[in-house]
């Protein structure tokens, strides 16, 4: 058996069928808008979410950062949850790239609401920072894969419209959210000014994210992508992997969620586990009882059994299920977890 890697859903390797799709992709210079496979992927994804246009980028960090840049002016403030990827894991890009500062809110398992956002909006005074953007993350990585439903998104959208705020979605794992809420991309698409989706997470592509929006927004985003150094040439070989992922690897995500739930159930019953965050999608975050086993010792024990996990704090562990983690690996992992007792 291969090593079991639960550190992230980014660790998947392209399947043979995906590699074949990449190998036979038609390509051209995409800075000249001449790569047919990229054009196809952009059209396909925009249609999927009912948006006018899309932009293929190397990473989700880039799609998020481009969206922030287009939606704001230097000196503005954006509103996001304290656990947001855009704030915690994008190298300070909000300030570095856009000269914008973040107002961080304590969401409900990472989720914002109009009630939380309202008092965070600055009034129109010369000395206050202009609030111009709200960013939601779905699913919320650091909050354990919790997700928004359409009923929670709609009032935030209406609220942002009323207050003249743009609304961005960091949808790196949006398909995991939709798999659980039983909603379609089209249903949520209309409620955001911009949407970032990743194909290199649970969908199993080696690279690639898309930024979706209306034509005018994407025209501006394309210019920023070039400035950020993300204008690619014959990248249709990469877009082919993305197309394959969107067409073949979405409906199976529920399997990952079922395996994550099973891991969560097992962990909940173990004496050395203090608590497990509710498992909503493919992310399992749990706290150890350090008097029984420390984070370092736990990581080492698993590593000796060829299982990789990621420390998410001193005695907090994250496991993420994905398409290269099957039932055999699940059983082995459960066996090892129980043996540590
Ligand atoms: C992974 C991730 C991103 C993008 O990360 P890249 O590694 O730059 O592709 C953005 N938001 C969230 C919530 C993520 O988990």
For a pocket test of ligand 1, which of 198, 225, 228, 245 has the largest count of ligand atoms closer than 8 A to its C-beta? 198
Q: Does domain 16-248 have CATH number 3.40.640.10?
A: yes
Q: Is the CB of 85 under 6 A from ligand 1?
A: yes
Q: Residue 68 in contact with residue 79, Cβ under 8 Å? A: no
List average pLDDT for each run of 10 residues in the chain, which is 341 residues long: 90 97 98 98 98 98 98 98 97 98 97 98 96 97 94 98 98 98 97 98 97 98 98 98 98 98 98 97 97 96 96 94 97 97 77
Would you give the distance in Å from CA 92 to the centre of its chain?
17
Per-residue confidence (pLDDT) for residue 2, from 0 to 100: 73
Q: Whose CA is nearest to atom 14 of ligand 1?
A: 172
Q: What is the number of the ligand 1 atom nearest to the C-alpha of 58?
A: 9
Q: Do domains 16-248 and 252-340 have the same CATH topology?
A: no
- The CATH number corresponding to 252-340 among 3.40.630.30, 3.20.20.140, 3.90.1150.10, 3.40.50.12160 equals 3.90.1150.10
CA atoms lying within 13 Å on the CB side of residue 29: 2
Per-residue confidence (pLDDT) for residue 313, from 0 to 100: 86
**Which of 38, 101, 56 lies closest to 74 in space, CA to CA?**
101
The secondary structure of the chain in percent helix, strand, coil, rounded to multiples of 5, reads 40, 20, 40
How far does residue 321's CA lie from ligand 1's centre (Å)?
16
Collapsing DSSP to helix, strand or coil, 334 comes out as helix
User: What six digits make up the tokens of 234?
Assistant: 């014959």
Q: Is the CB of 142 under 6 A from ligand 1?
A: no
7/216 Cα distance (integer angstroms): 38
Q: Is the CB of 81 under 6 A from ligand 1?
A: no
23/7 Cα distance (integer angstroms): 29
Per-residue confidence (pLDDT) for residue 1, from 0 to 100: 62
How far does residue 90's CA lie from ligand 1's centre (Å)?
8
Q: Where are the domains of the chain?
A: 16-248, 252-340
pTM: 0.97
For a pocket test of ligand 1, which of 68, 85, 110, 200 has the largest count of ligand atoms closer than 8 A to its C-beta? 85
Helix (H) / strand (E) containing 322? none
How far does residue 10's CA lie from ligand 1's centre (Å)?
9
């Amino acid at each position: 058996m291969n090593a079991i890697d639960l550190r992230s859903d980014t660790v998947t390797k392209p399947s043979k069928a995906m590699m074949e799709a990449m190998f036979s992709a038609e390509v051209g210079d995409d800075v000249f808008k001449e790569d047919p496979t990229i054009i196809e992927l952009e059209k396909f994804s925009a249609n999927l979410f009912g948006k006018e246009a899309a932009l293929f980028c190397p990473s989700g960090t880039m799609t998020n950062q481009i969206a922030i840049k287009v939606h704001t002016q230097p000196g503005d403030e954006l509103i996001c949850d304290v656990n947001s990827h855009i704030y915690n894991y994008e190298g300070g890009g909000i300030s570095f790239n856009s000269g914008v500062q973040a107002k961080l809110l304590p969401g409900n398992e990472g989720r914002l609401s109009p009630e939380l956002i309202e008092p965070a909006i600055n009034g129109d005074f010369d000395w206050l920072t202009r609030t111009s953007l709200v960013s939601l993350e779905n699913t919320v990585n650091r909050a354990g894969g919790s997700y928004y439903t359409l009923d929670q998104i709609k009032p935030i959208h209406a609220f942002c419209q009323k207050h003249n705020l743009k609304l961005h979605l960091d949808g790196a794992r949006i398909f995991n959210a939709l798999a659980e809420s039983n909603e379609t991309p089209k249903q949520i698409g209309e409620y955001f000014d911009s949407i970032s989706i990743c194909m290199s997470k649970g969908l199993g592509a080696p690279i690639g994210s898309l930024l979706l929006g209306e034509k005018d927004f994407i025209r501006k985003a394309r210019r920023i992508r070039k400035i950020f150094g993300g204008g690619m040439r014959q990248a249709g070989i990469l877009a082919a992997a993305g197309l394959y992922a969107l067409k073949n690897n979405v409906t199976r995500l529920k399997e990952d969620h079922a395996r994550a739930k099973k891991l969560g159930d097992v962990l909940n019953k173990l004496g050395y586990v203090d608590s497990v965050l509710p498992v909503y999608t493919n992310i399992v975050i749990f706290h150890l009882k350090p008097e029984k086993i420390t984070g370092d010792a736990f990581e080492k024990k698993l590593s000796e059994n060829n299982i990789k996990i990621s420390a998410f704090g001193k005695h907090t562990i994250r496991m993420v299920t994905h398409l290269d983690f099957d039932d055999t690996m699940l059983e082995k992992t459960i066996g090892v977890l129980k043996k540590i007792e």
